[in-house]
Chain A
Amino acid sequence: DTGVSQNPRHKITKRGQNVTFRCDPISEHNRLYWYRQTLGQGPEFLTYFQNEAQLEKSRLLSDRFSAERPKGSFSTLEIQRTEQGDSAMYLCASSFRTNEKLFFGSGTQLSVL
């Protein structure tokens, strides 16, 4: 499979709990992006990695959010002390070059109760 893979597909958690999502990009893509999408809206940029370096973060990415991409391969997005407002679809995308086609995974749907 050459697509972007995200796990888990769905996550239900209680407010205050920590959650972690994983993204495996297309293998030859060194650029990896995290987006958040709420119902009826387009994806909103959260953060970007080039190889293992996190080069850009949106102001949407509060202190409770942290993303890593060790070894420049897969990436994880962790949300600490989840709030109901964190409920959304978290999308991962990868690309071969900047300002180029983004290939998205199927996302992780987070529900915070």
Chain B
Amino acid sequence: GENVEQHPSTLSVQEGDSAVIKCTYSDSASNYFPWYKQELGKGPQLIIDIRSNVGEKKDQRIAVTLNKTAKHFSLHITETQPEDSAVYFCAASRTGNNDMRFGAGTRLTVKP
């Protein structure tokens, strides 16, 4: 089955700096890669996703890149703000599979 690994487990940046979180996956058939943000006491919230037919996607300060050959994808947050502080999860799934696999999460702290 699919295995998703996420790094780093914790990340601390100064407000205004960029943050990068990386994930690798094992199943070459995976074709959908979402990123979720989870704040304390809440469920994960989808912030951006990418499909395998696209190499990069951007939404304001958030971007995701995908390298299918290397089987890794990354989340980039620019101009970080204190409200970006949360736990971020990457995930991977493939068509026909209902079992979306999540990474272990990255706790991002943005210091004002």
Chain A residues proximal to chain B, CB less than 8 Å: 4, 6, 31, 33, 40-45, 48, 55-56, 58, 91, 93, 98-107
User: 16 A-B Cβ contacts within 8 A?
Assistant: A6-B43, A40-B104, A40-B105, A41-B105, A42-B104, A43-B44, A45-B100, A48-B98, A48-B99, A56-B99, A58-B99, A102-B34, A102-B44, A102-B100, A104-B43, A105-B43
Is B78 located at the chain interface by the 8 A CB criterion?
A: no
| Docked CA distance A73–B91 (Å) | 26
Contacts of B103 in A (CB 8 A): 42
CB neighbors of A among B84-112 (8 A): 89, 91, 93-105
Chain B residues proximal to chain A, CB less than 8 Å: 4, 6, 31-32, 34, 36, 41-46, 49, 89, 91, 93-105
Closest B residue to A9 by beta carbon equals B41
Contacts of A43 in B (CB 8 A): 44, 89, 102
